[in-house]
Amino acid sequence: MRWATFGSTRAALARGETTCEAVTTTFLRAIARKRHLNIYTYVDAEGALRTAREQDRQLATGEAPPLAGLVLAVKDVLCIRNWPVTCASRMLDGFNAVYDATAVARLRRQGAILIGRTNCDEFAMGSSNENSCYGPVLNPRNEIYAPGGSSGGSAAAVAAGLCHAALGTDTGGSIRQPAALCGVVGLKPTYGRVSRYGLVAFASSFDCIGPLTNSVEDAALILAAMAGVDERDATSAPVPVAPEPVGLTDAARCAGAALRVGVPKEFFGEGLDSTIRCSIEAILHRLRAAGAVVKDVAMPHTRYGIATYYILATAEASSNLGRYDGLRYGYRPAPDGRKRIDLHALYAQARSEGFGKEVKRRIMLGTYVLSSGYYDAYYAKAQRVRALIREDFDKAFQEVDALVTPVTPVPGIKLGSMINSPLKMYLSDIYTVTANLAGVPGLVIPIGAHASGLPIGLQLLGRPFDETHLFRLGELMMQLAKD
Amino acid sequence: MTVSVEQVRYIARLARLAFSPEEERELAEEMSAILGYMQTLDELDTSDVMPMTHVLDLAGVVREDVVQPSITAEEALRNAPDSCGDYFRVPKVID
């Protein structure tokens, strides 16, 4: 792919070597060629080309917006005015958004060309993209494997060269894990960094919108464009957004010597694939040689992350998904004219036929942990453990600027291998959920590949609202991985 | 940790979901395993830990009560399974 990153496309546009229309056409052709990967749930070729042509005219007169030429795909859980949004669920089949999500609106204003929507796990619940009413996405690096999830379509779109970048969402690792399994860059911003307005809610105290890209620079550009306080999301934080890092590569080199990096041993225990472990250790060795301080840190509550996360996230999901009742929008079963309708039965039928298996399982778990008699033992207990997990991070960040960890314990997920073992699937999120519990940012970068062709990812975790450190370190480590 | 089929039925009713007898048995088994795993939290003494409800320390956000442009009634009804005039239409549920 000639223009794999937006950074290189932008430079080529500036030199007059290509046009926005040509770039968009290239991606549209690639999308048509790779249809069997089942990545896109909707493509707006006409709209994308119209925007591209308009930007070419603006470029000629010097009036183009800063991100002109950025071809962007969007996970099918974010609202885009007059486009369908289905959350890969039968429940929202035929639903058309009536407004733009704030993140989408801001990127559109900055010049993003919206090309289509990407497949994902239903309502973003899953780690393999197999819980989708459209069927699974194939991993472009090795097609017998899943791309990861839940933002599997977004990660696969970027990996397969079907867009410059894609938006995903990360509630318990849903940007970072597929980024690692598809070999792309994925950023889960700090909780509150990006407005959630227009994002179909899964677990509101965890949900984050972030970019999947082919370079750290592209991720930084997209974050800067969509971040910032929004009056339509009371949890968007009034924290200033760092300007886009100009000359990221140079800054990364300089930063290397000054950085202190922590390695939590709890993330490198039993169950971690040995190739992933060795690859990360090799990079850490080079990082030390580049002058960074690398030291062990303790994160003693890491092992309680999965239980804590799945109690709180399913509880929030059961509450958020209560809105799907088949009355005002969403799936409603066809009426049976002869029977008198019972309201409870109408709700139950709409929800049972509209939702898929994993979504119903999580609603059941969430309802259980919130139900009378069990609330204190599960929900309230998990809220307390969440505080302990956050404390682990606060303590570690007194000593170091960032943490280096694996992203997944396994090298890949073969299609069909985990779909019938929900607990096993949940346990595979062990290295990603604690960042969501603590609200800290996480950046995943590709650092190598397994013999199977599947990529190896590395996760950097940083202080709240300090994505800049992650970008510099990520850029440096991607260079070290290539050396 | 054992979740019975009766408990599954009770929780399903609270959640406005309905399952076949086979699905109920499967859910009882899966929920027993998952909730059993969640009990690992009991290893921790959290008696002096405050529950964390949110990661951000944000105060309530207020704004002036001023009418802003919003979606129209027509747009609000566009995704309704059934509507009539400016109303959502639902099946008759009361006599």
Q: Tokens 């770039």 correspond to what residue? A: A23
Does B55 sit within 8 Å of A439, measured CB to CB?
A: yes
Residue A111 domain flag: yes
Domain borders along chain B are 5-42
Q: Extract the residue ranges of chain A whose pLDDT is less than 70.
A: 1-3, 243-257, 336-340
Smallest Cα distance from A38 to chain B, Å: 26
Whether the predicted pLDDT of B37 surpasses 90: yes
Query: For domain B5-42, is the CATH number 1.10.20?
Result: yes
Does A308 sit within 8 Å of B41, measured CB to CB?
A: yes
Q: Find, in chain A, the residue whose alpha carbon is nearest to that of B36.
A: A307
Q: Which of B16, B22, B46 to mutate to test the interface with A (most CBs of A within 10 A)?
A: B16
State residue B14's pLDDT score: 97
Across residues B68-87, what is the average pLDDT?
A: 93
Q: Which of A87, A194, A352 to mutate to test the interface with B (most CBs of B within 10 A)?
A: A352
Does A205 sit within 8 Å of B55, measured CB to CB?
A: yes
State residue A334's pLDDT score: 83
Residue A259 domain flag: no
Spatial separation of the C-alpha atoms in residues A212 and A327, rounded to whole Å? 35
State residue A2's pLDDT score: 55
Smallest Cα distance from B28 to chain A, Å: 10
Spatial separation of the C-alpha atoms in residues A211 and A244, rounded to whole Å? 14
| Mean predicted lDDT score pLDDT of chain B | 93
B78 inside 8 A of chain A by CB: yes
State residue A126's pLDDT score: 96
Which amino acid, residue A185? V
Neighboring chain B residues of A197 at a CB cutoff of 8 Å: none
Neighboring chain A residues of B24 at a CB cutoff of 8 Å: none
Neighboring chain A residues of B86 at a CB cutoff of 8 Å: none
Residue A283 domain flag: no
Smallest Cα distance from B36 to chain A, Å: 10
How many Cβ atoms are within 10 Å of A45's Cβ, its own excluded? 15
B33 inside 8 A of chain A by CB: yes
User: Which of A231, A311, A363 is opposite residue B63, by nearest beta carbon?
Assistant: A231
Token duo for residue A14? 């500036």
Residue A445 domain flag: no
State residue A250's pLDDT score: 64
Q: Tokens 């780690």 correspond to what residue? A: A127
Residue A169 domain flag: yes
Spatial separation of the C-alpha atoms in residues A480 and A288, rounded to whole Å? 11
B25 inside 8 A of chain A by CB: no
Smallest Cα distance from A364 to chain B, Å: 7
B64 inside 8 A of chain A by CB: no
B62 inside 8 A of chain A by CB: no
Neighboring chain A residues of B18 at a CB cutoff of 8 Å: 345, 348-349, 352
Asked if A260 and A267 touch (Cβ cutoff 8 Å), the reply is: no
B83 inside 8 A of chain A by CB: no
Which amino acid, residue A235? T
Smallest Cα distance from B46 to chain A, Å: 6
Does B18 sit within 8 Å of A364, measured CB to CB?
A: no
Q: Find, in chain A, the residue whose alpha carbon is nearest to that of B83.
A: A328
Report the number of distinct structural domains present in chain A.
1
- Identify which of A435, A388, A395 has the alpha carbon closest to the alpha carbon of residue A298: A395
State residue A257's pLDDT score: 57
State residue A337's pLDDT score: 64
Smallest Cα distance from B51 to chain A, Å: 4
Does B91 sit within 8 Å of A335, measured CB to CB?
A: yes
Strand partners, B68: none
A341 inside 8 A of chain B by CB: yes
Does B16 sit within 8 Å of A311, measured CB to CB?
A: no
Query: 0.90 exceeded by the pTM?
Result: yes
Long-range pairs for B50-53 at CB < 8 Å and ≥24 separation? B50/A384, B50/A387, B51/A380, B51/A383, B51/A384, B51/A386, B51/A387, B52/A383, B52/A384, B52/A386, B52/A387, B52/A390, B53/A205, B53/A383
Does A234 sit within 8 Å of B61, measured CB to CB?
A: yes
Q: Find, in chain B, the residue whose alpha carbon is nearest to that of A316.
A: B53
Q: Which domain holds residue A163?
A: 6-226
B79 inside 8 A of chain A by CB: yes
Asked if A194 and A219 touch (Cβ cutoff 8 Å), the reply is: no
Read off the CATH number of the domain in which A81 is found.
Answer: 3.90.1300.10
Does B41 sit within 8 Å of A382, measured CB to CB?
A: yes
State residue B92's pLDDT score: 79
Q: Which residues of A are catalytic?
A: 75, 150, 174
Task: Provide the 8-state DSSP code for B79.
Answer: T
A331's CB contacts (< 8 A; 6+ apart) are A90, A91, A92, A93, A324, A350, A353, A354, B81
% of chain B exceeding 70 in pLDDT: 98
Q: Find, in chain B, the residue whose alpha carbon is nearest to that of A301.
A: B44
Rounded alpha-carbon distances, angstroms, from residue A182 to A254, A385, A445? 29, 32, 10
Q: Chain A window 412-451: which residues touch B at a Cβ cutoff of 8 Å?
A: 422-423, 426, 438-439
State residue A3's pLDDT score: 62
State residue A249's pLDDT score: 63
Does A378 sit within 8 Å of B38, measured CB to CB?
A: yes
State residue A13's pLDDT score: 96
Q: Tokens 């992203």 correspond to what residue? A: A407
A286's CB contacts (< 8 A; 6+ apart) are A480, A483
| ipTM of predicted assembly, 2 dp | 0.96
